[in-house]
Amino acid sequence: MSLVYSMTVRDLRIQQRNAALGILITIATPLATCLLFYAMMELMRMRSAPVRGDDLTFLLTGFMVFFFHIKTASAVAGAVNPSMMPHQRATPFMFVCVKATAAAYQNALAFIVIFSLNYLLRGVWEMQYPLTAMFAIFIAWVYGIGLGMVFLALQRYFTWAGVVKVAYTRIMFFTSGKFFLGNNAPYREFYDWNPLFHIIDQMRSAVFVNYTAHTTTLVYPVVFTFAFLVLGFLGESYVRRNYSASHFPGA
């Protein structure tokens, strides 16, 4: 635990030397994205969703969970640092823990800062069941770890793994249900397969007093998370024991 903590601090400092600037950069992407769509909806005189509640909070709950999952998966997929592997205590599992912890710290901090600013500047606070909301965010994070480990194993053998990761991010952006509620989602067959769609809808059910999710469940993403974790650990173990640079496609 001490080693993971020290490596996590090192990883965060490498990303950005200035702590305050690092926090601003972390919260800039989700906040700017939400404000952009919120401004578009205000200019077009549209409501973000048929729910009685704050429209900006509705967007924040969708985009923050989406970025939490995607950034964790991307960080874990690039976790292994070849320059550090000769050190005796450095293992792939340790690097996965470091990247996952750093992603959780950055995104959780961004989540707290953005929701606090929304309350301080606009006087809006929507949070019906905070424990359920925290559990939904936790599932999105662990799901990102499992998926990132699968990408980590694939990209050691297949050059197209990076393309698949980018394609996955694009697909998640359009099928995660950030712009509508699960109860009245159009063309549900295009979204219902997506675990992130269930996580975001359950997150909004926990946040908004006037919305209860009837068509989604947290059991479905939990099963997917467990499956990807098992596949990720098996794939990483196989690659670590059998990988050879001589037959690496990119070598």
Instruction: Retrieve residue 186's tokens.
Output: 């159009």
pLDDT in tens, 14-42: 766 666 676 777 777 777 887 787 777 76
In this model, does residue 140 exceed pLDDT 90? Answer: yes
Closest of 10, 200, 231, 25 to residue 110, by C-alpha: 25
Residue 134 exposure: Cα atoms within 13 Å on the Cβ side: 4
Q: CA 84 to CA 11: how far, in whole Å?
A: 12
Sequence-ordered strand ranges (E) for 83-168: none
What's the pLDDT band for 108 if we cut at 50, 70, 90? confident
For residue 246, the model assigns a pLDDT of 53
Question: Any idea where the domains of the chain sit in the sequence?
Answer: 2-247
Q: How much is the pTM?
A: 0.85
